Amino acid sequence: MGNNGTKIAFEVCVVTADYNGDSYGPGVNMVMFDDQTRQSPTITLDNLFQNEVDFTLAKFTIDLQPWSKLKVLSYIFNNIKAFGKLHHIEFWRTSDNGLPSKWFLDKVIIRDRRYGLTGEWDYAFFPVHQWIAIDSQYVVHDCESWLPRRDPFPSLRDSEIARRMELFSFFQRAKGLPVEWNIEEIVLELIEQSGLALEYTNEAQWDSLETLGNIYKKYNITEPVVSLALCTFLLSLLGLKSYRHVWTYSFCH
């Protein structure tokens, strides 16, 4: 795309609000549609940020090709009709280099240069404002947003809602147990912030409930809802080897 000596049909500017990944960026496939539902071939944008200084903007050009010409000679291209005013785009992520990256796409701006630098239909703005998931399809219209009941692609909206609902899903491993969430990382962070790291990693045994209780008093920490007497019961019921394990168990549950 954008080779020297070729005419440019479109300029594509990808505006990113947040990105956490490698320096090359994700790969994207895009299809453009005009106002008569004619579509472009699949346009591949590999490694969005490989030529960019930061992860804010990525710019590409699309060369003028038979499908994008404003006027097509019918006796030469029998099955090709002129691509008109850009109406909407469809895109999806293809791959990442290494671990999946987190990418919040703000908008895509496409400039139509087929009429020249001062021609009509200059710019099309496609607001996205979403975290872009891998292998998910996105369709965005020029300067448009829709109420749910009028969305022209209701199945895509339903898929997006389903993905967001997964973020709020909690699981119960067995009946009667509390609903779980990923609290272990928070516990480790609190232990580090409160200066408990040395106590937490110390391999010395705690031989009594008083020793365990003194830890909370020493660091001015509120004791967990689980009473120390119940901790003794947990020690035998769960097969924990020491009061230190009870302390860890009470922090994480």
pLDDT tens-place values along the chain, 253 residues long: 555 557 899 999 999 999 887 778 888 999 999 988 899 999 998 888 887 777 888 899 999 988 888 765 444 455 556 888 899 999 999 876 556 688 999 999 999 988 876 666 689 999 999 999 887 899 999 988 778 788 888 888 888 888 888 777 777 666 766 676 566 677 777 777 777 766 666 666 666 667 767 777 777 777 665 555 555 555 555 454 455 555 554 544 4
Please tell me the distance from the alpha carbon of residue 148 to that of residue 152, in angstroms, as a whole number.
9
Burial track 139-161 (b if 16+ CB lie within 10 A, e otherwise): bbbbeeeeeeeeeebeeeeeebe
Amino acid at 233: F
Alpha-carbon distances, residue 165 vs 21, 152, 169, 222 (angstroms): 24, 22, 7, 34
Residue 194, both tokens: 């409160």
Complete DSSP assignment for 28-70: EEEEEEETTS-BPPPEEE-STTTT-SSSSEEEEEEE--GGG-S
The identity of residue 79, as a single letter, is N
8-148 belongs to CATH 2.60.60.20: yes
Tell me the domain boundaries of the chain.
8-148, 180-238
